């Protein structure tokens, strides 16, 4: 059995950021670190987007950035300059190549393409990790393997999904405005859900079109793709295009306590650890912040069960998700009222959880208050009922 101080499972954003952070930090120089993933990370299997003020640590691998966004609802449509923010996109393949190259230069970090079958916390004996190929033991395991089925249980915290299919398309003629990203276009038929089109133009002849929903269940693949075709036919009628690549995904949107799956020596990170913003599904920027904070936590030998703490923004997410779970069709009106009445810079600041109490109130006064009041009472009622059941 091979022994390691740390085993990181999953070479996505969280796993690679943690492996890189450990590899370059002198505090971990005497620690042996193994990074495992079932894929060799040589395909462009995803994209990450985030907003950021000025220059940032990932600019060297940013594929495209936009200084303007476009939002459209049923009654309001507007192009918004977002300075001092930029909206940035990183392709998965560029991220993998860059970080795997860096990790290969660290003598104490090893990447191995293996499929993890089982993780067993042996407590004082460490953690056993079984793969198809090997059997390992570690002092600590950090896993980004999302076991979504573990969370599909009745809860006061509903589980929605941000799910999507995207087409990367190429046209022969110049038809796109590459200076602005379509952040949300709710002009598409809602059909009782929260549905929007997300468009990222890379040039005048290439763009990503992504049909996205916030809802409880996924759609048949054909429904996403028909929606993209319909959108192209409405907004770019008669334009010849070729589909270069496709992507699809599903991100959990929930305020469930992800730490319940942790043990003393097995800790979940990334989306699997609840690092995605519950109310939006945005993950990349939050993962960068959480990874840096977790590294510092480990360096200070603090117990991992004290790492993640809830704040007032968690409660805001609870209220919105309760609304979307009970009345999924209200998402369009809520987001439209935000972008019609408040500047995107303040919305970004709020979603980054950097606003003051005063700014929070100002943001929350934009949508109609009744759904949020009902959501609060539903949540409180659920808590009271559960408490009585315990008695």
The number of residues making up the chain comes to 391
pLDDT of residue 389: 40
Among 34-38, 107-111, 216-220, 279-283, the range scoring the smallest mean pLDDT is 279-283
Reference 19, options 107, 99, 116; nearest CA is 99
Q: What is the mean pLDDT of residues 355-378?
A: 87
Confidence of residue 390 (pLDDT cuts 50, 70, 90): very low
Mean pLDDT, the chain, whole residue set: 92
Is the pLDDT at 387 greater than 70? The verdict is no
The verdict on domain 160-253 having CATH code 3.30.9.10 is yes
Among 79-93, 194-208, 375-389, the range scoring the smallest mean pLDDT is 375-389
pLDDT tens by residue, 29-68:
999 999 999 999 999 999 999 999 999 999 999 999 999 9
Q: Counting beta carbons within 10 angstroms of the beta carbon of residue 309, is it exposed (0 to 12), middle (13 to 18) or buried (19 or more)? A: exposed
* Architecture category of domain 2-71+89-153+254-306 in CATH: 3-Layer(bba) Sandwich (3.50)
Q: What are the structure tokens assigned to 102, written together? A: 């860096």
Confidence of residue 391 (pLDDT cuts 50, 70, 90): very low
Give, in degrees to the nearest 5, the angle at Cα 251 between 247 and 256.
Answer: 175
Domain boundaries, the chain: 2-71+89-153+254-306, 160-253, 312-390
Q: Counting beta carbons within 10 angstroms of the beta carbon of residue 329, is it exposed (0 to 12), middle (13 to 18) or buried (19 or more)? A: middle
pLDDT tens by residue, 308-352:
888 999 999 999 999 999 999 999 999 999 999 999 999 999 999
Q: Do domains 2-71+89-153+254-306 and 160-253 have the same CATH topology?
A: no
Confidence of residue 375 (pLDDT cuts 50, 70, 90): confident
pLDDT of residue 388: 44
Pairing of strands 47-53, 85-91: antiparallel
pTM metric for this prediction:
0.92
Give the residue carrying structure tokens 């890379």. Answer: 202
Q: Can you tell me the distance from the alpha carbon of 229 to that of 120, in angstroms, rounded to the nearest whole number? A: 47
Pairing of strands 160-171, 33-37: unpaired
Pairing of strands 33-37, 47-53: unpaired
Q: Can you tell me the distance from the alpha carbon of 77 to that of 385, in angstroms, rounded to the nearest whole number? A: 43
Cis peptide before 84 (omega within 30 of 0): yes
Does residue 8 sit in helix, strand or coil? strand
């Amino acid at each position: 059995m091979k022994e390691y101080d740390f085993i990181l499972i999953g070479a996505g954003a969280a796993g690679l950021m943690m492996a890189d952070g450990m590899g370059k930090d002198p505090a971990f120089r005497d620690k042996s670190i193994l990074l495992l993933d079932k894929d060799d990370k040589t395909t462009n299997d995803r994209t990450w987007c985030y907003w950021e003020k000025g220059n940032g640590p990932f600019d060297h691998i940013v594929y495209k950035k936009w200084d303007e966004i476009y939002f459209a609802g049923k009654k309001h449509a507007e192009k918004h300059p977002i300075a001092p923010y930029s909206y940035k996109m990183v392709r998965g393949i560029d991220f993998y190549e860059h970080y795997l190259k860096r990790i290969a230069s660290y003598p104490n970090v090893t990447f191995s393409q293996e499929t993890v079958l089982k993780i067993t916390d042996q407590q004082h004996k460490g953690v056993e990790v079984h793969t198809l190929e090997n059997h390992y033991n570690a002092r600590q395991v950090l896993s980004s393997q999302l076991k979504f089925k573990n969370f599909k249980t009745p809860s006061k915290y509903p589980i929605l999904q941000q799910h999507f299919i995207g087409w990367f398309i190429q046209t022969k003629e110049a038809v796109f405005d590459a200076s602005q990203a379509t952040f949300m276009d709710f002009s598409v038929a809602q059909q009782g859900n929260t549905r929007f089109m997300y468009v990222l133009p890379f040039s005048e002849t290439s763009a990503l079109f992504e049909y996205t929903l916030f809802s409880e269940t996924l759609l048949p693949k054909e429904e996403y793709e028909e929606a993209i075709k319909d959108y192209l036919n409405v907004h770019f009628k008669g334009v010849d295009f070729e589909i270069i690549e496709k992507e699809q995904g599903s991100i959990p949107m929930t305020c469930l306590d992800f730490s319940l799956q942790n043990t003393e020596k097995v800790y979940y990170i990334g989306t699997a650890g609840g690092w995605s913003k519950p109310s939006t599904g945005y993950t990349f920027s939050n993962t960068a912040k959480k990874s840096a904070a977790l590294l510092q936590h480990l360096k200070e030998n603090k117990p991992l069960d004290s790492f993640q703490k809830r704040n007032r923004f968690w409660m805001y997410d609870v209220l919105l998700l309760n609304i979307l779970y009970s009345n999924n069709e209200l998402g369009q009106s809520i987001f439209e009222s935000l972008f019609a009445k408040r500047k995107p810079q303040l919305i970004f600041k709020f979603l980054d959880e950097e606003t003051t109490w005063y700014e929070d109130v100002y943001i929350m006064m934009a949508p109609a208050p009744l759904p949020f009041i009902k959501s609060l009472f539903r949540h409180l009622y659920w808590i009271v009922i559960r408490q009585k059941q315990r008695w």
